[in-house]
Structure 1
């Protein structure tokens, strides 16, 4: 059972799944990080069953931009239509099922499959199918056009990200994200400007990347630039939804950094005084890791490719007004720091992955004083996968 108490900063301290758990027992078995069969089950039971991160809206920044992605092993297309909307479709031509494209493309009006030149409008509807009935000027009937468009995938856009749900009966995305959206209601995500983006192809299980992101204990030892151990003590566990959104908040993590000079980055929205110094760090289950300060927003999105391979899509955003050249040095410095922090974690992730081959990996210890949020994440995975305690 999970219980909560509130700190003076308004955050939640967790007395959760570890309070009744004896030391020395993993919530997830080591095989959950190494076994290809368990990875395949995750793709079905987690990534095909609920809302997951699929891409960024800036990947399709202009009308006619088409960006292929893969979610749960399934090829999808993210498309920006003529009305400015972002839509997602199954990347499979309705004739013979060939993927329409495997590379990002920009089209004027139609997306064409190269096999038999069937083409689709940006809203997914079938536009043309030459020699459809074996006649030179033959064309599909209006009924055929309606029935043979690209198959849509339930999708949603929030905070510069694209989420999809491959299940048969998705819960509205707005219901899932609402508590975090309300917490961040002072941020104007429509003003986001991409500062820098990088892709990291890592030989590690995706869950280790999540757990490392939620591990505040390692910060002073792996990232000494964040400050002494005392700095890590000034973090509150925060539970938005124990099944979906968990993380932490440094109420004073950005103190002394905000608005020191004319070149300090502008805030992303109308940030109240009480939130100017805070840092929010959350996992939006299962694969979006988000970090928010008043003047920047970071996403580390995870694309699991195998039991021991994860592609990280890391992006840093600032307010659109920070695109002004006078902020260039500040933006560059910010990005350098954030990407360096991510790079510092990589060798430790590799060692964590290597350790999962040990018999001792089934006897790791989660500390009630540090690892309640990690335990919540593991519990959420275990519940979906049917692992017994």
Structure 2
């Protein structure tokens, strides 16, 4: 069958894959070649064809809590600046002075009014406009003309802020953010993301390819074997594969994932908005392609965002959020217990990620056996990667 055209059956929780990219005939096929997990040329190619061609996660809004906060980041090799320009606005610019192209800062800074380039002291307002260029005309008070100032604005980058996350699009003709994230925004419309309160944040610097982090996140088969605290195999059998957008959003949901948890008590964490009754027991697990891994329950929200640094290195930025009303001493133990569990789950995965990475250097890695009964969502993620990067599919994983 055409791997880009799975068929679905509508359910109350989303579109469940019933005939996805995998079939019995595709056992042994490699949708993404093994070299794409180890080869630096393949990594550079993906940076351009995937991370530079559409929307990707680039940071968290809480990294810029105050007006004047500036944070440098890099996406697809391009240095960028995240800037809190006013209380309600985060802007993104290319981190390059309009005079000689020097990066404006390589460390997070807080400025009162202007971002200044240290080379010739050109400075920029928080909205990116040129504020001053001393001796521009070789005179003591010589300043650029209004026309020159307009032309020498910091170059903006298309950006969006949603659910506490910052996204950018470096393509020449960017589509609106909601064209890729819209189905998930709509699915979670009952959540008031303005109420998010950061409960914890951790960084994991891993010697693995970014795609393995995504594939592990979407692998529900391993849960009872690697994470016994999540429940027996029967719990994984209760997961529905969900495709909200065949090119951008794949994942799964436990319609009854919260069953067995402590009943709601006075110190139970408050819900993230007006949660419908049918969603109070569910867990949503999605990849917002390519690098935002999101996990939602009624009373907490987790993001594992991926910053690919090389073919064999990925920095995970993990953040756990609760409702702002949970910022109260009586919820402290519940939050601490939640964070401990989520961190432990992530740490349990790390040795397996390293072994998966090591295995990608075997010729056998191009003959792996994704199975239709468990791996449709993983295969769909790999199909998106293969489509964007132009990798051959259906068993072709070599350079021959």
TM over 0.5: yes
1:143 correspondence with 2:147 = yes
Secondary structure class of the residue paired with 1:181: helix
4+ residue segments displaced more than 4 Å: 7-11
Cα separation, 1, equivalents of 2:113 and 2:11: 54
Q: Alignment partner for residue 71 of structure 2, among 67, 73, 77?
A: 67
User: Which residue number corresponds to residue 197 of structure 1?
Assistant: 201
Map residues 118-133 of structure 1 onto 2, 5 A cutoff: 118-133=122-137
In structure 2, list runs of 5 or more residues that go unmatched: 394-400
1:240-279 map, 5 Å: 240-257=244-261, 259-279=263-283
Task: Determine the structure 2 residue equivalent to 1:215.
Answer: 219
Question: Among residues 314, 319, 328, which one is paired with 2:318 in the alignment?
Answer: 314
Match of 2:50 in 1: 46
Tell me the CA shift for residue 7 of structure 1: 4.6
The equivalent residue for 1:173 is 177
Provide TM-score, normalisation by structure 1. 0.98
1:370 aligned to 2:368? no
Contact 1:14/1:238 (<8 A) preserved: no
> How far 1:20 moved relative to its partner?
6.2
Q: Which stretch has the larger CA shift, 284-293 or 127-136?
A: 127-136
Hey, what does 1:281 align to over in structure 2? 285
Q: Which residue is 2:109 aligned to?
A: 105
- Aligned equivalents of 2:142 and 2:46: distance in 1? 45
RMSD: 1.2
Deviates more, 1:142-151 or 1:351-360: 142-151
Report how far residue 8 of structure 1 moved: 6.6
| 3-state secondary structure, aligned to 1:232 | helix
2:94 pairs, out of 90, 94, 99, with 90
Tell me which of the two structures has the higher relative contact order, counting C-alpha pairs closer than 8 angstroms and 6 or more residues apart.
2
Change (3 A) 1:340 1:236: same
**In the aligned structure 1, how far is the partner of 2:97 from the partner of 2:261?**
51
Q: What is the alpha-carbon distance in structure 1 between the residues aligned to residue 191 and residue 324 of structure 2? A: 13
For 2:344 and 2:138, the matched residues in 1 are separated by: 59
Provide the C-alpha distance between the structure 2 equivalents of 1:97 and 1:6, rounded to a whole number of angstroms: 51
2:396 corresponds in structure 1 to none
Question: Does the CA contact (< 8 Å) of 2:14 and 2:244 recur in 1?
Answer: no
Q: How many residues align?
A: 389
Find out whether 1:152 has 2:156 as its counterpart.
Answer: yes
Instruction: Indicate yes or no: 2:25 matched with 1:37.
Output: no
SS at 2:53's partner residue? coil
Instruction: Specify the SS of the correspondent of 1:46.
Output: helix
2:334 to 330, 342, 361: 330
| Alpha-carbon shift at residue 275 of structure 1 (Å) | 0.3
